[in-house]
Amino acid sequence: MSWKSWTTQIFLVCHLFLKTCFTAEFEISVPREPPVAILGQHVILDCSFPVGKAWDLDRTVITWQRGLEVIHSFYYGQDQLDRQSPHYDKRTSLYHSEIERGNASLRLERTNLGDSGDYTCFVSTMLGTQKKTFQLKVAAFYPEPRQNFTVSPSSLELLLTSQGGYPQPSVQWLDDRGDDVTSDIVTNISVDTLGLYSVFSTLTIQKPPNTTFTFVLKNKDLGQEIRREINLHFDKTGSDAVLPVVLQDRCRWLVFLPTCFTAEFEISVPREPPVAILGQHVILDCSFPVGKAWDLDRTVITWQRGLEVIHSFYYGRDQLDRQSPHYDKRTSLYHSEIERGNASLRLERTNLGDSGDYTCFVSTMLGTQKKTFQLKVAAFYPEPRQNFTVSPSSLELLLTSQGGYPQPSVQWLDDRGDDVTSDIVTNISVDTLGLYSVFSTLTIQKPPNTTFTFVLKNKDLGQEIRREINLHFDKTGKNEP
């Protein structure tokens, strides 16, 4: 058969099947950040998988492992614990009634320090097979510190003790100017036979100025912070009636220990950059601690980008004199929520110029702090359009998706799943608004039956457009449409 007659046949008889699917592949989900179990309590290790209509419990395999050590297995519709490691004996369970909803989470009872480490969730169903590994941390809170005073004729010694936490804490002492004086303090951290840490921190004062020391113990895995402020007032005039002992120079130590177990004034902003959808509103979260002594009229909230003011609030109301014109009539605070520590900013009708670093500044009677975080603005790519061009010698398929943000990644896969992107011409252009358009052209000269998959990803939005193109060529066909 001549080339020309063959291509004529393509034109007339080739059958093109275009599956317009818009779904992701079989992908299980596990925690992105290591979950933290509290020592001795149970923890749920999350793992979920996609289920479809064709799903069948009897053909589902769920296995939890640590390396080669089996923690829990499930297949033939029931738990299979023959190969379970003794370390996990009678401590594991799955949520059987939830498996049909794609829940492969493992419940682990009575956690111990040996449970920390990497866990692998393996799931296999009729729809696919995948495993993913993540880390579990086990941690124990440090208890309220105990205080032992030792007063000698020449000095006052204060020992703070907190026993049985995990992991190793950071310990700091600050003086009344907020400077770190940790190096002047003797701190011993020891490990007991169970692997738990104990802190012994001794403050020794030889000279008697009125002064304040602050003990700060942090357990980073649990976000625990123990802060103990110790105010030492030195009263030269007192009699030796009250507390604790008279020093040699006939002066008396008065020790006030507010037994506070609270964090310092610490505002919270998003840890991961929030993503606004272009043209829609977004809430930039910022919250601050409020106490009983809190007063709205003495609260200042300011949102800025560098020196540019976005929104200010003080004397109990919005103050927009210095607001940047870029944000005119687009910002608001949740006034009724401010008393609950909500300083979040609502920004209307977002545009690409809104992306960047935002600073939330809050000052109240309890403290002052500012924190900066990044806002991303993104736009979904629309469903791609397809233009076919059939010439005597080739078939050309152009896929077009216009008006997304940020720049996407574009990939073409062949029927073996190999990347054939380099054989394809893809143009990505930016329009006057800053939005991206994708033009991707697949040209086929030879006629095997084959499958190409177009994959466009917008990472900020987690958007994935997947278009599978099956090309079937029917050589036996006649010259009929």
The site for ligand NAG (CB under 6 A) is made up of 44, 46, 48, 95, 98, 103, 105, 148, 159, 161, 186, 188, 200, 210, 233-235, 283, 285, 287, 334, 337, 342, 344, 387, 398, 400, 425, 427, 439, 448-449, 472-474
Q: State the pairing for strand pair 36-38/128-139.
A: parallel
> What single DSSP character describes residue 96?
G
Cα dist. 5→2, 8, 15, 426, 481 in Å? 5, 5, 17, 30, 15
For residue 268, the minimal CB distance to ligand NAG (Å) is 7
For residue 163, the minimal CB distance to ligand NAG (Å) is 9
Q: Which is nearer to ligand NAG, 185 or 283 (CB)?
A: 283
| Residue 387 neighbours by CB distance under 10 Å | 11
Token pair listed for 264: 């310092």
Q: Which is nearer to ligand NAG, 144 or 337 (CB)?
A: 337
For residue 269, the minimal CB distance to ligand NAG (Å) is 9
Helices then strands, counting H and E runs in the chain, come out as: 1, 34
Beta-carbon contacts of residue 188 (< 8 Å; ≥ 6 apart): 199, 200, 201
- Which secondary structure element, helix H or strand E, spans residue 457, and what is its range? strand 450-458
> What single DSSP character describes residue 479?
S
For residue 325, the minimal CB distance to ligand NAG (Å) is 26
Q: Which is nearer to ligand NAG, 83 or 382 (CB)?
A: 382
Strand partners, 78: 75
For residue 313, the minimal CB distance to ligand NAG (Å) is 14
Place of tokens 């510190």: 145
For residue 450, the minimal CB distance to ligand NAG (Å) is 9
Q: Which is nearer to ligand NAG, 104 or 378 (CB)?
A: 104
For residue 47, the minimal CB distance to ligand NAG (Å) is 6
The whole-angstrom separation of Cα 74 and Cα 81 is: 8
* Residue 274 near residue 285, CB atoms below 8 Å: yes
Q: Which is nearer to ligand NAG, 68 or 97 (CB)?
A: 97
Q: Which is nearer to ligand NAG, 246 or 283 (CB)?
A: 283
Q: Which is nearer to ligand NAG, 450 or 463 (CB)?
A: 450
* Residue 303 near residue 370, CB atoms below 8 Å: no
| Residue 66 neighbours by CB distance under 10 Å | 17
CA dihedral in degrees (165, 169, 175, 177; nearest 10)? -120
Q: Which is nearer to ligand NAG, 83 or 348 (CB)?
A: 348
For residue 169, the minimal CB distance to ligand NAG (Å) is 16
Q: Which is nearer to ligand NAG, 21 or 186 (CB)?
A: 186
Q: Compute the Cα dihedral for 267, 277, 31, 77 and give only its sign.
A: positive
For residue 86, the minimal CB distance to ligand NAG (Å) is 26
The whole-angstrom separation of Cα 131 and Cα 140 is: 29
Cα atoms found within 13 Å of the Cα of residue 35, Cβ hemisphere only: 21
CA 352 to chain centre: 24
